[in-house]
Amino acid sequence: MPICRREFLKLAGLGSAIMVLGSRGLLQAAGGEQAKDDFFFLQISDTHWGFNDPAVNPDSKGTLKKAIAAANSLTVQPDFVVFTGDLTHTTDDPKERRRRMAEVKEIIGGLKVRDIKFLAGEHDAGLDNGEAFQEIFGKTRYTFQHKGVNFIVVDNVSDPTSSIGDAGLQWLQGELAKLDPASRIIVLTHRPLFDLYPQWDWWTRDGSKAVDMLMPYKNATVLYGHIHQEHHHMTGHIPHHAAKGMMLPLPAPGSVPKRVPIPWNPAEPYKGLGYRGVTAKAAKGEYLLTEYPIVKGV
Amino acid sequence: MTCMLVSLSGLAEAADAADAQRQGSEAIKITAKRFEYSPNEIHVKKNVPVVIEFTALDRLHGFVVPQLNIRSNIEPGKITRVTIVFPDAGTYDFHCDIFCGDGHEDMTGKFIVEE
């Protein structure tokens, strides 16, 4: 369902909006795809279900539920919701890992929207090469299409060396080969594909190869998580947008000696946590990002 | 900062300890386990080859010195030798670059390089 201007402004009022300029006019210039309906989806990331440190988040069991309730209260429901990884907080115990996954999946099932896409994070998949994640959530790399936009889920977490790996890169190449250079593409992944701050594992070891594969495609955008904060970066013409997390905010890259969670501030509860709405405006080839807090005003 | 790498490849490889020993360096033994290196602060001299013998006590870990573009896997059950020559005095941080669990981000250390 396209979003009318009134509803869009209402959604925008809940959070901060960033207009992302895609390749305006490209669809018309290339004479490629016909115009499709606008659509809206949510990106929720780094829920870290199982994390427990009251000094960082005293509402570790409630934050995600609050976000789900807020999402369910939107007058215009998203077409789908994508979770960009670290659904669970890592554990050495394979049974506990599966228990957390099953539990968070059940909680996420409380969303009104039924079309939910899951990505793994290194917390979910890094210690067992994605075995438990695949049992409970499905494939770690896949594609889907929605109203003229091609979504490609890239796995850069099942390999604990922070790599996509040769097989994953080969797969990505194959999927891209099916698409026209004018195609609208959104890559969904967990870690940044570029070297944001490798010292903190904020990179993908072979991410530059993936970015190189994307460069011929003039209308590609990357959405990712992992760093627990909003971040925007360009590699050439390709925008990369990191989403906030839902459990433990992290400091800006290199701002402090160690990558430790930012402590909870009772005066500003849930500060640094949130989720994102993405409005795809087909005719203009643009994506509007709206950042939603867990609690209004923070 | 220039760096005398043990390999001419873009990413330095772990070197043979015998080469370093011919240059008169002693091996420094470091253990790696979740989530620490021991020792994790090593004092060395600049321009003197440093041979490090890593032992992983529990699982596969990584070792990377970003300033020098040097890295190596540290596999359990064997000794991994890495030879480094530090060209300048100062502090060189290192860390594990293979995700090893909750606490992985704490697995760090530093070389204090003296004149």
Say what the pLDDT of residue B85 is: 96
pTM beyond 0.80, yes or no: yes
Mean pLDDT per 10-residue section of chain A, whose length is 298 residues: 42 46 32 58 97 98 95 92 98 98 98 98 98 98 96 98 97 98 96 96 97 97 97 96 97 94 96 94 83 81
Q: For the segment B28-57, what is each residue's pLDDT rounded down to a tens digit?
A: 999 999 999 999 999 999 999 999 999 999
Please give, rounded to a whole number of angstroms, the shortest distance from the CA of A89 to a CA of chain B.
8
CB contact under 8 A, B101 and A92: yes
Model pLDDT, residue A147: 92
Report the alpha-carbon distance of residue A179 to residue A175 in Å, rounded: 7
Name every chain A residue with its beta carbon within 8 A of the beta carbon of B93.
Answer: 199
* B106 near A CB under 8 A: yes
B71 in contact with chain A, both atoms CB, cutoff 8 A = no
For chain A, the three-class secondary structure string (H helix, E strand, C coil) is CCCCHHHHHHHHHHCEEEEECCCCCHHHHHCCCCCCCCEEEEEECCCCECCCCCCCCCCCCCHHHHHHHHHHCCCCCCCEEEEECCCECCCCCHHHHHHHHHHHHHHHCCCCCCCEEEECCHHHHCCCCCHHHHHHCCCCCEEEEECCEEEEECCCCCECCCECHHHHHHHHHHHHHCCCCCCEEEEECCCCCCCCEHHHCECCCCHHHHHHHHCCCCEEEEEECCCCCCEEEEECCEEEEECCECCCCCCCCCCCCCCCCCCCCCCCCCCCEEEEEEEEEHHHCEEEEEEEECCCCC
Instruction: Return the domain boundaries, chain A.
Output: 5-293
Kindly report the CATH number that applies to the domain delimited by B17-114.
2.60.40.420
| Nearest CB to B105 within list A92, A198, A258 | A258
Segments making up each domain of chain B, as ranges: 17-114
B95 and chain A: CB distance < 8 Å anywhere? yes
Asked if A81 and A41 count as a contact pair (C-beta separation under 8 A), the reply is yes
The whole-angstrom separation of Cα A22 and Cα A149 is: 13
Q: What is the mean pLDDT of residues B5-22?
A: 41
CATH architecture of A5-293: 4-Layer Sandwich (3.60)
**Are residues B93 and A199, on separate chains, in Cβ contact within 8 Å?**
yes
**Chain A interface mutation, best of B99, B104, B106, B110, highest count of A Cβ atoms under 10 Å:** B99
